[in-house]
Amino acid sequence: MKKFYITTPLYYVNDKPHIGHAYTTILADVIARYKKMFNEKVFFLTGTDEHGQKVQEAADKLNTNAKQHVDKFHKNYIELWNKLNIDYDKFIRTTDQSHQSKVKIMLQNFWDKGEIYLSEYEGLYSVSEERFITEKEYSEGNFRQVTKIKEKNYFFRMSKYQSRLIEYIKQNPNFIMPDTRKNEILGFLRKPLADLCISRPKSRLKWGIEIPFDENYVTYVWFDALLNYITAIDWNQKEKNFNYWWPADYHLIGKDIITTHAVYWITMLMAAKLPLPKHILAHGWWLMENEKISKSVGNVVNPIDLIDYFGEDALRYFLMREMTLGQDSSFSFELFKKRFNDDLANDLGNVLNRVTILIRKFCKNKVPSITNTDDTDKDMIDKIKSLHKVATRHIEKLNISQLIDDVMSVVRDVNKYLEIKQPWKTLKVDQSNYDGLNTLSISAEAIAQATKILYPVIPGKSTSILSILGLNSKDFNNFEFGFLVNNNISKHGPLFPRIEND
């Protein structure tokens, strides 16, 4: 069995999650579910980033201490993942004892091997980014809360790995995806790479993992958080488990954290002499009226509200269908409503209703058998049979949006097929008319197979549709054609009631 290890970023617990955060985790969940569908053994990791200045400031604002703050706020993510039907294997918190102790082990190893040194540094520090920035970066104006700081700190010899990193990226064209991000990193690496400051003096920040060889410092939050990808799978604890899962197949991230992953993390792994992840995939941003959705802009869309009104599958469907990997996408309630009504209510919901009503009316509730098919039937059958291959091809490239589009086009074809065949007319005259019976059976089969392929995207609604068609979960992975014949169809209400204008 092939193994597949996929990760999301660890979310800062400085506020409530918004749909940008929900997107990455849904994407990871959808990919993980497809991989399981293809019989791969999957480990899906997500969690929360609980140290550092941002979290400390959020706690200060709420007049609470950092520990109490993270113990309370990380639950927002767990609650959201439950509501979104996210089937993760592990939720790591960077305040977990086992994570903290392994970060200390890594720091000690680096110190012992001379990968870390102490040095005085004077420079510009961006509080919002939690890192030292160059004069040039400052002049470009992308950083907030910049102050001048002079202090002694510990540095990781990141510069040592610059040429190896460039070489690796060039030799492995799919390592950083998409190409725009790869080129951005190669551009960044054209300038000399500085060493990375990996400590913060306790006089400035107490909320972090103490540096094991100097009690006056805590660890820089990114050095701590990035290590989660290996601490979560038992690095330095259960080597068998670690060696089985590592390296990760995909680190899914947003484009704003590509440098920390493609440069900091990869050079850390090089220094630790560990294998490198197979792919780092950076997606675009969710925008609202052309601005990134974010807490600081103040335009957040709360996913819980959308789930409470429209259900988790409506949100999963929208986010997966609407974003082309690598590009930015816009969110608006109008778009959300349109996508739901057009695709789920009008196409999928409508065709399901038509077919189940006709099977109830003309076939005593049973899916009829298929005999003497004509060319139109055969065309439809070919489309149904191609669905699994289409899914496999798109998943290889993680092209979820295109996959959904192709499946929905088959669903729309069923509506057209019904219009051509008009089984309600032939069966009204003769209930044993094989052409009418074939049409209903093949249409039901098309809906079932399309729904099975959509299962990773809309698991809840897919389960309902497949159970209406007389299938239970052990059949969801069976793509044999004609599997539905003789199944009893259950009565059901509308699965995707249209969202009306209010």
The answer for residues whose C-beta is within 8 angstroms of residue 380's C-beta and 6 or more apart is 413, 414, 417, 442, 443, 446
Q: Is 49 in the site for ligand MSP (CB under 6 A)?
A: yes
Burial of 63 by CB count in 10 Å (0-12 exposed, 13-18 middle, 19+ buried)? exposed
Smaller CB separation from ligand MSP, 301 or 307? 301
Which residue from 253, 344, 363, 398 is in contact with ligand MSP, where contact means CB under 6 A? 253
Q: Is 25 in the site for ligand MSP (CB under 6 A)?
A: no
For residue 19, which phi and psi values (nearest 5 degrees)? -70, -20
Least distance from C-beta 417 to ligand MSP, angstroms?
A: 38
Q: Give the C-alpha separation, 246 to 237, whole Å.
A: 13
Instruction: Please report, as a single letter, which amino acid is at residue 323.
Output: M
Smaller CB separation from ligand MSP, 254 or 311? 254
Which residue from 4, 5, 12, 88 is in contact with ligand MSP, where contact means CB under 6 A? 12
Which residue from 5, 6, 9, 66 is in contact with ligand MSP, where contact means CB under 6 A? 9
Q: Is 73 in the site for ligand MSP (CB under 6 A)?
A: no
Burial of 122 by CB count in 10 Å (0-12 exposed, 13-18 middle, 19+ buried)? exposed
Smaller CB separation from ligand MSP, 293 or 427? 293
Tokens of 333: 């309630």
Strand order in the sheet with 41-49: 90-93, 41-49, 3-12, 250-254, 279-283, 176-177
Which residue from 110, 285, 310, 496 is in contact with ligand MSP, where contact means CB under 6 A? 285
For residue 201, which phi and psi values (nearest 5 degrees)? -65, 140
Which residue from 6, 10, 59, 450 is in contact with ligand MSP, where contact means CB under 6 A? 10
Instruction: Please report, as a single letter, which amino acid is at residue 354.
Output: R
State the CB neighbour count (10 A cutoff) for residue 141: 8
Q: Is 24 in the site for ligand MSP (CB under 6 A)?
A: yes
Q: Is 492 in the site for ligand MSP (CB under 6 A)?
A: no
CA-CA-CA-CA torsion sign (273, 179, 8, 37): negative
Which residue from 6, 21, 158, 340 is in contact with ligand MSP, where contact means CB under 6 A? 21
Smaller CB separation from ligand MSP, 226 or 453? 226
Residue whose Cβ sits closest to ligand MSP: 254
Q: Is 153 in the site for ligand MSP (CB under 6 A)?
A: no
For residue 144, which phi and psi values (nearest 5 degrees)? -105, 165
Give me the helix-helix angle, 19-37 and 66-83, nearest 10°: 50
Choose the binding region for ligand MSP from 10-18, 145-153, 177-185, 461-469 (rule: CB under 6 A): 10-18
Smaller CB separation from ligand MSP, 247 or 460? 247
CB 303 within 8 A of CB 19: yes
Q: Give the C-alpha separation, 456 to 37, whole Å.
A: 8
Q: Is 11 in the site for ligand MSP (CB under 6 A)?
A: yes
Q: Is 383 in the site for ligand MSP (CB under 6 A)?
A: no
CB 5 within 8 A of CB 249: yes
Choose the binding region for ligand MSP from 6-14, 162-170, 202-210, 305-313 (rule: CB under 6 A): 6-14
Q: Is 294 in the site for ligand MSP (CB under 6 A)?
A: yes
Q: Is 220 in the site for ligand MSP (CB under 6 A)?
A: no
Which residue from 178, 254, 423, 436 is in contact with ligand MSP, where contact means CB under 6 A? 254
Count of residues engaged in binding ligand MSP, rule: CB under 6 A: 21
Residues that bind ligand MSP (CB under 6 A): 9-12, 20-21, 23-24, 49, 225-226, 228, 253-254, 256-257, 285-286, 292-294
